[in-house]
Structure 1
Amino acid sequence: MYVYDVLIVGSGLAARMVAHSLPKGKHIAMLTKHSKWSSNSMLAQGGVAAVFSKEDHWSSHYSDTITAGCEHNDEQAVEYLVRRGPQLINELIRSGMRFDCNEQNEVLLGQEGAHTYRRILHAGGDATGKALVSFLYQKTEHRVDMMEYETVQELIIENGRCIGVRTQDEKGHISARYAQHVVLATGGCGSLYPYTSNTDGAIGEGLSLAYRAGAELADLEFIQFHPTLLVKNGCAVGLVSEAVRGEGAVLVTGQGERIMKGVHELEDLAPRDVVSREIYRRMFQGEQIFLMIKNVNDFTNRFPTITDLCEKNGVDLDRYLIPVMPGAHFHMGGIKVNMYGETSIPRLYAVGEAACTGVHGANRLASNSLLEGLVFGELAAKKMAEKPDDPIFPGAFSASLQQVSLSMPSKRDIQELMMSCVGIVRNASSLKRMVRLLEERLDQVEENIWRYDRETIKRIHMTTAAYLISKSAFEREESRGSHFRSDFPVSLPRWEKKQLIQERMNRKVNVIGG
């Protein structure tokens, strides 16, 4: 029997931050269904948002986050995020993390959509996520038992408390792993869609695991589509960071028309849902959309990862035009947690994109995701460290049962359905059809999910996540942020929101530290 103090499912930035923040001496295990280096965090180009300039202030970062989130945010969580963020970044810098600096060794700050000031820190130009994950890996590798290519089939719940997970390795061997605290850091669900910036493994299994265990979920309908994924032969092949637009790039048609002129006051740096819908509208009319980079200074050195991506896919950067399209990027919803990562099931936590802390509201502000993983990963670790151990009494378990198969939708089938029914623009009839179809498939699934083979379990998790997202989208009868219903109007114009947020900022705001 495997027993740990803390068992972390996932290996991205939030998972690493939990391990880094736990007291020394804790027996920590981390498991992942792929390589330990496979995560959305490793692909994060844009950077991490934090107030570092003298002109900027936490209240402005707070206001920008609320505005982008269409006032659907948890205000207390947002305030903690933007106030703790700069302190935590400085602590990481003092412990050896290096961000891009100028010749005076001052941190360089980038601009991204919906930010009032330049407040985006980068590392390696456009490889910030990789740099942060690698840094925290070095800090924790000798303290963590790392298990790769091991799939979680289900959570183990005894007497209403999570005491572990049941897993299956590549050879089909089933194991029960127990812990005082179980952390779901499984990432997002972008790969439920055919066009995405996410890793292939981002299929929303954290949602399925938590749901099947009885945990509460929240805001699943809010899925952010990034406006600028590189296009090759009609397929999305990688992300082109919003930081490129922050440095002067603009969106144009093949005839050179700027598509965001007159659409939003921030034009090309408008919130991502606005930009994605406009590109989607233009593409639906048969136009091809490009990111024109002529005004970006020293593009190849400033964005080496994107340069390499373009060159590998045959894009001639001397023409200054990068073909782009929107794709699934980030899930604002997830497993419902409080500020300490605690779910509705005792001793079960969720952090990072798998969790719904409420900080992102209906639409995430650019570069707040890495910050969220760091800030709330730290808080979750501190909460675990405070709690005394409880005895674990696992029930009887046999792994010798004959596995059975089950016919479930393929990944491609789910992706096509999600794009057509639960994509950038949605409506009641397609959502209702999607919910009914997936309900019928899930009705066939047996309670003992671990009896199925690995591929079938993967499809069950995907189908469950797709069903939950579709049902949530059907039930939210309004258009708000990234959830756009063609049969319902937008809940509140953004120019009206600005005044409301300013009025709130003039009132006293409760402070949680820092």
Structure 2
Amino acid sequence: MTTVATPAAPSPAVPERLGSGTVRLATRLAAPEPGWTVEADAVVVGSGIAGLTAALELRTRVPRVLLVTKDRLYSGSTVWAQGGIAAALDPDDSPAAHLQDTLVAGAGLCDPRAVEVLVTEGPARVRELVARGAVFDRAPDGQISLTREGGHHADRIAHAGGDATGAEISRALVAQIEAVRDDPGIEVIEHALVLDVLTGPVGPDGRPGAACGVTLHVIGEGSRDGVGAALGRAVVLATGGIGQVFRSSTNPAQATGDGIAAALRAGATLADVEFVQFHPTVLWLGAGVKGQLTLVSEAVRGEGARLLDTDGVRFMPDVHPMAELAPRDVVAHAIVRRMAATGSDHVWLDARHLGADFLRRRFPTIHDRLAEHGIDLTTDLVPVAPAQHYHSGGVLTDLVGRTSLPGLYAVGETACTGVHGANRLASNSLLEGLVFAHRAARDIAAKVAGGELPVLEPVGRSGERALVAAASRSRVQRLASAGPGVLRDGEGLRRAAAGLAQVPTDAHLRHDAGHPLADPQVAEWETTNVHQVATVLTAAALEREESRGGHARSDFPAPDDAWRLRLELTLDQDGTLRSRRAPVE
């Protein structure tokens, strides 16, 4: 099994401008100077499966840990995970088979070393979750009950509460944190939005120094007021995904790309940002609906539900040998094309033949959420359409979570470990957060013990400050949904890029009737992150002239071996966005 790789670093190549012109982004948010300071050996940002696991592992390995979360501990994307967590737990299954399914779904862009780590260490990590108190559904023989989802050729999806796996995992991990709240070695700050990664003295190449903490704003009910600085030998970003970049998403409202944007501004490298997974079966409630939408888990199709067009025709068997259980990008693209062919804005999910008793027992959460909208899963066809669900890219890391910026780690959906490639295999995300959070925590502990992560004083970074008015959020989301949406093309991406470039990013400096257009506050900081992520995503999608996995371009409809590479993105010292093309094993 592969062990530890060297820290991630941009591949040597000639930096190029992205898209159709130069993209410039600010390297800092416009915000007040910190009014208070807290210190720790490690600062963990986020309370999903990755952040909670990292904090729990670090608590027993370093003297002091600070866990920061944007809402309450029991929040974030993990809570909403319905389907389950994938691992080769069945004696008839194997890590090698799980690896193969992951590589196929990743469409040639997975890092095989990272996938090997995931599938080999995954079963042990899931058993540790059970030891931490997570209660998974059991088969009659007492073993963990396993089911199948799209792209898997074996039953290897462990689930809890039928379709409430993420909620159960969060409950168990939060309970572990709550049990040690009074431990002087750990502090939890809730309702805290991380603004920027703090960095140490500039290196000889002029780039920012090592990460040494974060600035954060405590929102209302936190234990500290206003903007402060959390200093640490290491920073772990586990801030989740980018769902609110789009008009509609299955992600919670907190998913505004905060960690990815902060890492980019600090000088870290991003990768695979163009690969966005749109879940095929999200409840369709009309064209005007925005915000977090109701997901109808892939596990429903795993149990035998079928997709029908609005004429009642089942179409997936003609698209892929695995029919409704094809990889998610295949199903989502097929649905969009079928909608276009039939002039419809949705398709139907038909689970009626599975039986009312089974559906209520296996999918109680989905059944109840659909019932809130007057839809009975047991007797009705369910209107569904693709919506943004998961981001396969993020902050580039090595096999222990280290980014290209010393002292900065990323885990979970915030990270690009190379596991997912161009398209995440169903239920690999919870496992990735679990496995790589363990690895990151252990690497940090070893480096703290070895004196390799010194205490640094933060220094100011050069470059502009940005603030985008909250009123611009819907404009940014509309541009992102129309440009780098489910199906893309060069013309649409160029329009989106031009539109995003016209969004004012200096709202704190512009005045109307003597007053600033916007003041530095939570909604504006989040909108600035959304704008920066949308800008980078659009630029990367415009540069990749092929279709692969979660990146589908109608003007370049086929995969191209010349593009079997990873786009790595960084900001120059002046904020110019650069790309490097890195080969993939």
Question: TM-score normalised to the size of structure 2?
Answer: 0.79
Superposed displacement of residue 26, structure 1:
3.1
Partners of 1:492 and 1:339 in 2: CA distance: 27
Partner residue of 2:455?
A: 392
- C-alpha change, 1:358 and 1:445, in structure 2 (3 Å) is farther
Name 2:195's counterpart in structure 1.
Answer: 153
Q: Deviation at 1:438?
A: 2.3
Instruction: Name the aligned partner's letter for residue 525 of structure 2.
Output: I
User: After the TM superposition, which residues 197-346 of structure 1 pair with which residues of structure 2 at under 5 Å, given as runs?
Assistant: 197-234=250-287, 235=289, 237-284=293-340, 285-287=342-344, 288-297=346-355, 298-346=358-406
Structure 2 runs not aligned, ≥5 long = 1-36, 202-208, 510-517, 562-584
Which whole-Å deviations, capped at 9, do the CAs of 1:171-194 have from their partners, x for residues lacking one? 572111101111110100112112
Task: Please identify, of 239-248 and 149-158, the stretch whose mean Cα deviation from structure 2 is larger.
Answer: 149-158
Deviations 1:240-270 (A, max 9, x none): 0000001010001233210212111111111
CA distance in 2, matches of 1:112, 1:316: 22
User: 1:11 is matched with which residue?
Assistant: 47
Q: In the alignment, which residue of structure 2 is the partner of 1:118?
A: 155
Matches within 5 A, 1:327-476: 327-388=387-448, 389=451, 390-394=453-457, 407=469, 410-441=472-503, 444=506, 452-476=520-544
TM-fit CA distance, 1:445:
7.6
- Aligned counterpart, 1:89: 126
Contact 1:11 1:31 in 2 (8 A): yes
Q: 1:124 and 1:291 mapped to 2: Cα distance?
A: 22
* Greater displacement, 405-414 / 170-179: 405-414
Matched-pair contact (CA < 8 Å) for 1:111–1:120: yes
Number of residue pairs the alignment of both structures matches = 487
Change (3 A) 1:336 1:393: closer
- Tell me which of 169, 178, 181 is aligned to 2:218: 169
Q: 1:59 is matched by which residue type in structure 2? A: A
Q: Which runs of 5 or more residues in structure 1 are unaligned?
A: 398-402, 494-509
What is the rounded CA distance, in whole Å, between the counterparts of 1:317 and 1:207 in structure 2?
A: 37
Partner amino acid, structure 2, of 1:470: T
Residue range with higher mean Cα deviation, 27-36 or 155-164 = 27-36
- Partner of 1:29: helix, strand, or coil? strand
Q: Percent identity?
A: 40
Cα offsets for 1:313-360 (capped at 9, x unmatched): 110334241111100000000000001111111111100000000000
* SS of structure 2 residue aligned to 1:394: coil
AA in 2 matched with 1:291 = L
Alignment equivalent of 2:56, drawn from 1, 16, 20: 20
Per-residue CA shift, 1:277-310, capped at 9, x if unaligned?
1111222342341110023241011101101111
Name the Cα RMSD after superposition. 2.3
1:71 match: secondary structure: coil
Q: By how many angstroms is 1:33 displaced?
A: 2.1
Give the aligned residue type for 2:321. Answer: E
| Cα displacement (A) at 1:37 | 1.9
Q: Structure 1 residue 204: deviation in Å? A: 1.1
What CA deviation, in whole Å up to 9, does each residue of 1:18-56 have, x standing for no partner?
A: 112225263111112222222111100010001122221
**Cα shift at 1:365:** 0.3
CA deviations over 1:113-147 (Å, ceiling 9, x no partner): 01011110001111111111211122233154221
Query: Aligned pair in 2 of structure 1 residues 322, 451: CA closer, same or farther (>3 Å)?
Result: closer
Q: Are 1:190 and 2:243 matched, yes or no?
A: yes
1:444 Cα deviation (Å)? 4.0
2:69 aligned to which of 19, 26, 32: 32
**Residue identity opposite 2:267 in structure 1:** G
3-state SS in 2 of match to 1:232: coil
Matched-pair contact (CA < 8 Å) for 1:5–1:181: yes
> One-letter code of the match for 2:363?
F
Distance 1:405 1:252, change over 3 A: closer
Shift of 1:152: 1.4
Kept in 1: contact 2:233–2:456 (CA 8 A): no
Q: Which has the higher helix share?
A: 1
Measured in 2, the distance between the counterparts of 1:13 and 1:404 equals 31
Map of 2:79 onto structure 1: 42
Which deviates more, 413-422 or 334-343?
413-422
